[in-house]
Structure 1
């Protein structure tokens, strides 16, 4: 059964029972809560979400304000839709609002109890955050892995040259390139291939399956009483996909431990897995193999997903705005020359390219909402009470389309960022695609480099022709294109 059918059946089955037993609690005084639409019995305001909640809630915020209260099933939900309210939540009340509202599917196979993305801020979360920050995402570590990124980028460009005359599916090539970069950084192996029909297809399907499930609205998240029933079967599907991924990691880890055990002087890899296994073998109580596998899952899924979407949206905007594309190409030629491959130290010298990426993130953030936060205690914002346990959604998409902040908000205008100081590293709340505060995305430094590098290389090496560039999006944990960008590369003579 689909999501809406389940909701309709649920309302008939539970409405009488819950109204009799919990009526006073469900419809008690809400005078201190932020304003919001009147909820229906049982369903609350779920019917107002529609197929694109980021758009629906942005529209509702124009009526009820940038701090809004909704009842989604049995869940009290607070929606922030302005930079000022986002700053209050993510900076002023960062500690109180730092917990996560954990979805049902994230609890599969103990993932939520070992995942840096879903753990509450505590000693275990700090440990995992410290490990990734010190061993993967420092400036020194990111710079040290530049030759690897150049190699993967060259493979992508060679693939496009070899396939001259064939239409390019940007979703496919960006996903494979991003996934291989991350898997090689983590394990020193490629997880995918640019050649269709390769032996790597299973891994791609596992990751895409998990991303699709994570982005599907789940009735059990609105009515936690149904979590054991799993009416849509999403948790069961997630168990299958995540189980396959963890089995893959088991295989890789077992092989690595076997290699390490054969000889003390074996040639050691320089990837993250080697570091994690060192920490594990020094003190298994500090970092278990269970934690390692779930940390690797977070890094693989989030990294491949956000980079793929970001590259595809930026290229879509450039191809449908040829004057902006021409301007970016001209800047690249003037900075790095006609034939040279783009290097990472070129990125700071390309202000217009940087503006293109910022503008793309404004219009098409990696996720329409930040990963949901949860209030650990009652707090007050603008005279309203945010109750303990409330789910908090920051509508990044709405902030990026707010006409009071951005003149001509629907237009792709990179020039608005040229010469300005606004950035997306968590300090400027008008542009927070990666979040802010202690829960800011730890992979931001790597994502910044990869998105700039891939977009710059594609527009520097080729001209592009596309008959139609569809800009519809599909709501999910990430903001995917409804239809992948497809275009023909024209090799410069």
Structure 2
């Protein structure tokens, strides 16, 4: 009873800005504020932007219980948050979804700003996302880009109809698996290089967790509801994160066992991010990270950004298919910069300005997520001249900023040329006129990797194939899903190869990507005794089958381009 009285008095005494002028607030109910609107209008992220448009304001204060949630749709105010007052808004708010995804705020993305978070971020920045680290694993990314072309060509041979979302999901998950774990599949490989049952379950769980993260939970504003599953989404989130953790832990435990067993022999170059993390030492020569910290980092690396490439490529191709002159101009640039005797490489990215302009325009008009990861005010402060109480949650709206008519001419029209204003087009946007990657103290550390992956992926798809709409399809229906910012229906398109399969030389050419299957069947343990001699083409042996020496001899551990062992 005393708890309820104290809780009730807290609402009466602490529910407003203490007489200071808060940002414009939509009408609410005494004590609970806009909580009913939050619960009745799902997804809440879209409702918030609609309310702000109706109010004709670029900043608004929504009160959910005692918590002030400040939403922003202006680039100018966003700069104030992530640049001018970056230190004031460096913390993350308590959130059921963030707590569960990060195993109790123990990763880089959701941890409170402090020594532990800075340590983990430094590891990611200097050891995993540095130029040296990205160069080390470039062949891994190229391998999966090659595999993507083979996968699409296989679909062409089966009829030519491609589910764009499906192929990009397959590619993105495969790249993340290779980078993080050094393998494409958890256990069993697939004959055509697609995701197997385990990979599909893992990938679906990541997307469910991301959708749940941007939901608004009543438990975030009334802690007494924690664990009640009032909205039904808490169980979905828990199940999704448990699936991700189960698969990650399976490989991490396996890696730990191998490293402990062969600690003296593991002097070769690391093959993946886990290898790098295991080799890090502090100034006393002891492991820098505990197995628990490595697990937390692996979930951050697994979850964050994986949806960006899927959304960007699908929306970009959809807009191009509706405006073929844009598609043709992008292909013309690729042919001019790269030519037709080799495939697009990461080194070509700086020169593919029109392709990047198309991607920037997609990030502006069709952002992947509704908001940046929320910030929280560490002290009383102001934004745009309005009072912002300590503890307020700050939401920077990606679509709100990207579609703001005060910033952009004809904001709902897809026009890549609006970004061709300098010598080199960058996907980042320092002035926050569009939100491509997070910025500031809590900004995205994977900006360079994300740029390489998205531009190279789109470049190879446009270079390798002619894209057309299916017969009897006039235009792509450019409609957002009701639940998130993805297309309501997966994009289906017809493809036809546009390059000679025998072009070029070396490893990264169209022929090697789609034509060289090293084995006709998946090798099994029973086959080993039948192999008196195994002949591997020199270029494959040197680049994709590095030999690992240990005290007992040479270990052969390899996959061909289609994942066959």
Same fold, TM exceeding 0.5?
yes
Q: Residue 466 of structure 2 is aligned with which of 463, 471, 474?
A: 463
Q: Work out the CA distance in 2 between the residues paired with 1:276 and 1:475.
A: 40
Match of 2:210 in 1: 211
Which deviates the most, 88-97 or 317-326?
317-326
Bigger Rg over Cα: 2
Match of 1:402 in 2: 404
Q: Work out the CA distance in 2 between the residues paired with 1:41 and 1:57.
A: 19
Q: Describe how 1:70-469 pairs up with structure 2 within 5 A.
A: 70-108=62-100, 111-164=103-156, 165-191=159-185, 194-195=193-194, 198=197, 200-263=199-262, 264-266=264-266, 268=268, 269-279=270-280, 286-420=288-422, 423-466=426-469, 467=473, 468-469=475-476
Match of 1:61 in 2: 52
Q: CA deviation at 1:16?
A: 12
Runs of at least 5 residues in structure 2 that lack an aligned partner in the other structure? 500-565
Q: CA deviation at 1:223?
A: 3.0
Q: Work out the CA distance in 2 between the residues paired with 1:224 and 1:324.
A: 50
Q: Work out the CA distance in 2 between the residues paired with 1:21 and 1:438.
A: 33
Which deviates the most, 346-355 or 214-223?
214-223
The count of corresponding residues between Structure 1 and Structure 2 is 478
Residues 285, 261 of structure 1: alpha-carbon distance in 2 compared, 3 angstrom cutoff: closer
Q: Work out the CA distance in 2 between the residues paired with 1:223 and 1:122.
A: 26
Which deviates the most, 169-178 or 221-230?
221-230
Residues 110, 463 of structure 1: alpha-carbon distance in 2 compared, 3 angstrom cutoff: closer
Q: CA deviation at 1:127?
A: 0.6
Match of 1:8 in 2: none
Residues 482, 191 of structure 1: alpha-carbon distance in 2 compared, 3 angstrom cutoff: farther
Q: Work out the CA distance in 1 between the residues paired with 2:115 and 2:10.
A: 39
Runs of at least 5 residues in structure 1 that lack an aligned partner in the other structure? 1-14
Q: Work out the CA distance in 1 between the residues paired with 2:134 and 2:10.
A: 56
Query: Equivalent residue of 2:441, what SS?
Result: helix
Q: Which has the higher helix share?
A: 1
Q: CA deviation at 1:229?
A: 2.2
Match of 1:487 in 2: 493
Query: Equivalent residue of 1:437, what SS?
Result: coil
Residues 110, 339 of structure 1: alpha-carbon distance in 2 compared, 3 angstrom cutoff: closer
Q: Work out the CA distance in 2 between the residues paired with 1:250 and 1:54.
A: 32
Q: Note the alpha carbon deviations across 1:434-484, whole angstroms, 9 max, x for none.
A: 1221111111111111111111111111112223523222466x7322222
Q: Work out the CA distance in 1 between the residues paired with 2:343 and 2:359.
A: 19
Q: CA deviation at 1:147?
A: 1.6
Q: Note the alpha carbon deviations across 1:122-171, whole angstroms, 9 max, x for none.
A: 11111111101111111232233222111101111111111112421222
Q: Work out the CA distance in 2 between the residues paired with 1:51 and 1:100.
A: 23
Residues 42, 229 of structure 1: alpha-carbon distance in 2 compared, 3 angstrom cutoff: farther
Query: Equivalent residue of 2:406, what SS?
Result: coil
Query: Equivalent residue of 1:488, what SS?
Result: strand
Q: Work out the CA distance in 2 between the residues paired with 1:109 and 1:440.
A: 18
